[in-house]
């Protein structure tokens, strides 16, 4: 690796980081009283990390994601990706939504190419990328189909392809598999992890499902009532199959998470968990 390459890699490493700095988000409820959707949240995601934001519904996970996406301006604090601070949505932080956002009036291929077209990529480039990503998510036969001809799980794959095709440093996902059945979700987990290993994108994945977080995350952020109550590193080996998730370290981790979110028994020996390297 020459000096040029090293420099480029170094830049990339810096570029994939996301720094959330004392972000608060206060909403006025219809009846007039104020709601702290986010309360002084601070953390830095390293480039290439798979970060899961976990918490009960209504506690700020989606708000946090939307702030990072630029869809929601915070009332306090700031978000930086790479060197730039976030001022609005953009293709450097594309998002997979919880609801079905595949555009029904475009063929599957056009959906995947949508972001590329907005960027001004040439027809040949777009086709190359859409071919590549449709193959990666296993939908190359459906390139010319209408979205309504696909199942919900397949449409989610289209949404994933559309986001990944942008080759951005950061990808955001808001409970993307929430509306799908367990089995579809599992195969999508495998797919996502495969693609992530290839691209090493920094991923922000919001979920209320602890098991899902354990399968996917390098790092789990716990959000409760808008506050960041814990930041856990998950050192379990990949792939996180049933055996790995059945290990005592994994079970203890789950207990810690539940406890911090207000469920389960007191954890008296958290420090020993950290010593064992289960959490960090």
Partner 1 sequence: MRSPVRRVGESIRRHPVSWITWAVIIIGWEILAHLAPASTIENSPLVPSWEFVFTDALKQLSGSWTFDFWAPNPSRGGEETYFGALLAILYHSSQSLYRLVLGLTVGVLAGVGSALVISYWRFARRLVWTPLNFLRMLPLLAAIPLFQYWFGPTTMGTTVFIAFGVWVLLLVSTINAVNNVPDRFIESARTLGASRKRTYFAVIVPAALPELRTSLLLAAGLSWSLTVGSEYIGLGSGLGNILAVAEFFTNTGRMIIIAALIAFYALITFFFLDKFFKRLVSWVPTLADDSNVARVAGVAAIGAPADQPISG
Partner 2 sequence: MTERAEQAKTTPASGGGRRRVSSVVAAIVIPLLGIAIFLGIWQGLSSWAGVYTMPSPTITFRHIADNLVHSDYLESHGLSTGAGYLSHIGFTVRNVLFGVAIGAALGVSVGLLSMRSKVVAEIATPLAATFGAAPIFVAAPFFLIWFGIVSTAQVLMVSFYTAILMYIFSRRAAENLAAQFVESALTLGGSGWSIVRRIYVPGTVPEVRGAFRVALAGAWGLAAISELLGSEQGAGFLIKFFATAFVIDGMFALTFLLGIVAVIFDRLAVLGFAYLTRWSEAGRRLAL
Binding partner of residue 145 among partner 2, partner 1, none, CB under 5 to 8 Å per kind?
none
Token pair, residue 50, equals 């798979």
Using rule CB under 8 A, residue 31 touches partner 2: no
Smallest distance from partner 1 to CB 241, Å? 32
Which residue carries 């950061």 as its tokens? 170
Smallest distance from partner 2 to CB 64, Å? 13
Round to whole Å and give the CA distance between 155 and 180.
Answer: 11
Using rule CB under 8 A, residue 72 touches partner 2: yes
Interface residue with partner 2 among 1, 2, 4, 32 (CB under 8 A) is: 32
Q: What is the DSSP string of 189-251?
A: HHHHHHHHHHH--EEEEEES-HHHHHHH-SEEEEEETTEEEEEEE--PPSS--HHHHHSHHHH
- Sheet holding 18-28: strands in order across? 34-45, 18-28, 76-81, 84-85
Specify the residue, 24 or 254, whose C-beta has the smaller distance to partner 2.
24
Binding partner of residue 75 among partner 2, partner 1, none, CB under 5 to 8 Å per kind?
partner 2
C-beta neighbour count of 153 within 10 angstroms: 16
Using rule CB under 8 A, residue 95 touches partner 1: yes
Token pair, residue 107, equals 């063929």
Using rule CB under 8 A, residue 93 touches partner 1: yes
Using rule CB under 8 A, residue 162 touches partner 1: yes
Where on the chain is the footprint of partner 1 (CB under 8 A)? Answer: 69-71, 88-91, 93-95, 97, 99, 101, 103-106, 114-115, 118-119, 146-148, 162-163, 166, 172
């Amino acid at each position: 690796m020459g000096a040029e390459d090293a420099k480029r890699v170094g830049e990339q490493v810096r570029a994939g980081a996301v720094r959330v700095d004392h972000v608060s988000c206060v909403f006025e409820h219809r009846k007039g009283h104020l709601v702290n959707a986010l309360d002084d949240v601070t953390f830095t995601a390293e480039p290439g990390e798979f970060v899961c934001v976990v918490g009960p519904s209504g506690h700020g996970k989606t708000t946090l994601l939307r702030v990072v996406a630029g869809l929601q301006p915070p009332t306090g604090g700031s978000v930086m990706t790479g060197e730039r601070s976030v001022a609005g949505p953009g293709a450097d932080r594309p998002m997979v939504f919880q609801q079905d956002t595949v555009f029904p009036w475009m063929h599957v291929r056009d959906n995947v190419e949508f972001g590329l077209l907005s960027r001004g990529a040439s027809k040949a480039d777009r086709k190359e990328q859409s071919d590549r990503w449709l193959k990666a998510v296993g939908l190359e036969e459906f390139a010319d189909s209408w979205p309504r001809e696909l199942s919900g799980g397949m449409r989610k794959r289209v949404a994933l392809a559309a986001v990944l095709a942008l080759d951005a440093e950061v990808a955001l996902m808001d409970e993307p598999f929430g509306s799908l059945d367990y089995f579809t979700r599992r195969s999508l987990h495998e797919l996502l992890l495969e693609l992530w290993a290839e691209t090493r994108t920094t991923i922000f994945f919001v979920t209320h499902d602890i098991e899902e977080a354990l399968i996917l995350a390098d790092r789990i952020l716990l959000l409760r009532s808008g506050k960041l109550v814990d930041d856990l590193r998950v050192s379990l080996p990949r792939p996180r199959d049933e055996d790995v998730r059945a290990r005592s370290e994994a079970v203890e981790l789950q207990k810690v998470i539940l406890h911090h979110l207000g469920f389960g028994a007191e954890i008296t020996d958290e420090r020993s968990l950290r010593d064992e390297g289960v959490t960090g």
